[in-house]
């Protein structure tokens, strides 16, 4: 049976939480038509609608969408490495190409058995990152699949990182204050698992226990609700159409509604354990985007 992935237009309160309407227009195809296994394909197992990524002492692995997108929403369900996952990182991210690339990251930092995973989010603008936040999760991400999503648009633009529909981070456009914002480069959708035991767990103090290998993270139920950009033209605004043409540009999507704002505050209060904007020891002067 062919492995399927659906690209759909979906406006739903449980995903983003701006409005209560829902429109679904599914367009389904074979997983291999949407993604390419571009790193260690012999470590990737395709099972039905799932992609299982393998890490062992030889290699990690990864995949990437064949198309690139700008504005909209991208989601996936992931079940993370079970047991002693110290030193491993499973990543779901979007990135453009080159040394001045833009990038959005979910990185799931493994831990020793019994200790919680951390999810690290990061944002690169024109090749510069160092915008990390780290959260604990309110569930065990190794027991079942959970949904992780990016949402982004272009007018009063925000990037929203969501876990099971709950926003854990918002990165706001401050171009009016002279700050760069990643909205000119289309990005592909990617996933990977890899050895990061030089930094991922307790600052690199805890290494991977290779006697537990191989390690597996499984991805499924991809939803891509985003504007595909074609390579034959560089006119970003022409391809994305007039402002308001797509659902993510509607006025209702300018800011989080009250309910989602309360969820964001809850996630920050209960689960945020590191914020680069609060790290005075790291910066002699806080980044400008950290200043309201």
**DSSP character at residue 188:** E
Contact 190, 93 (CB under 8 A): yes
DSSP state of 70: E
Verify whether residue 107 is a known catalytic residue: yes
Q: Which of 103, 132, 175, 285 is catalytic?
A: 103
3-class DSSP assignment, residue 225: strand
Give phi and psi for 42, each to the nearest 5: -75, -5
Asked about 289 being catalytic, the answer comes back as no
Which is the catalytic residue, given 107, 132, 175, 285?
107
**Residue 227 structure tokens:** 């504007």
Cα distance between the two ends of the chain: 52
Q: How far apart, in whole angstroms, are the C-alpha atoms of residue 64 and residue 12?
A: 26
Q: How is residue 72 written in tokens?
A: 């909209």
> Which residues, including other chains, have CB under 8 Å from residue 25's CB and lie 6 or more apart?
8, 9
Decide if 217 contacts 79 (C-beta within 8 A): yes
Q: Are strands 215-229 and 188-195 parallel, antiparallel or unpaired?
A: unpaired
Tokens of 94: 């979007």
Q: Rounded to 5 degrees, what angle do the CA atoms 236, 75, 25 make? A: 75
> Which positions are catalytic?
103, 107
């Amino acid at each position: 049976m062919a492995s399927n992935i659906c690209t759909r237009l979906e406006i739903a309160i449980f995903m983003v939480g701006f409005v209560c309407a829902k429109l679904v227009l599914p367009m389904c195809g074979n997983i291999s038509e949407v993604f390419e296994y571009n790193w260690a394909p012999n470590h990737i197992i395709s099972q039905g609608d799932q992609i299982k990524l393998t890490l062992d002492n030889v290699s990690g692995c990864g995949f990437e969408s064949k198309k690139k997108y700008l504005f909209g929403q991208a989601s996936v369900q992931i079940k993370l490495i079970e047991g002693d996952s110290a030193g491993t990182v499973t990543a779901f991210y979007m990135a453009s190409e080159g040394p001045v690339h833009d990038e959005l990251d979910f990185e799931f930092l493994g831990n020793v058995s019994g200790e919680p995973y951390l999810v690290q989010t990061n944002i690169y603008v024109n090749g510069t990152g160092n915008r990390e936040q780290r959260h604990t999760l309110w569930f065990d991400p190794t027991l079942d699949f959970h949904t992780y999503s990016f949402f982004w648009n272009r007018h009063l633009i925000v990037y929203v990182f969501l876990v099971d529909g709950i926003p854990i981070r918002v990165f706001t456009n401050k171009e009016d204050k002279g700050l760069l914002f990643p909205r000119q480069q289309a990005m592909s959708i990617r996933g990977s698992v890899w050895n990061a035991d030089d930094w991922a767990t307790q600052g690199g103090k805890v290494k991977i226990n290779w006697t537990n290998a191989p390690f597996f993270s499984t991805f499924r139920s991809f939803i891509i609700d985003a504007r595909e950009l074609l390579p034959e033209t560089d006119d970003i605004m022409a391809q994305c159409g007039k402002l308001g043409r797509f659902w993510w540009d509607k006025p209702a999507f300018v800011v989080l509604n009250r309910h989602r704002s309360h969820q964001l505050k809850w996630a920050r209060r209960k689960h945020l354990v590191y914020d680069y904007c609060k790290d005075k020891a790291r910066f002699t002067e806080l980044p400008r985007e950290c200043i309201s």
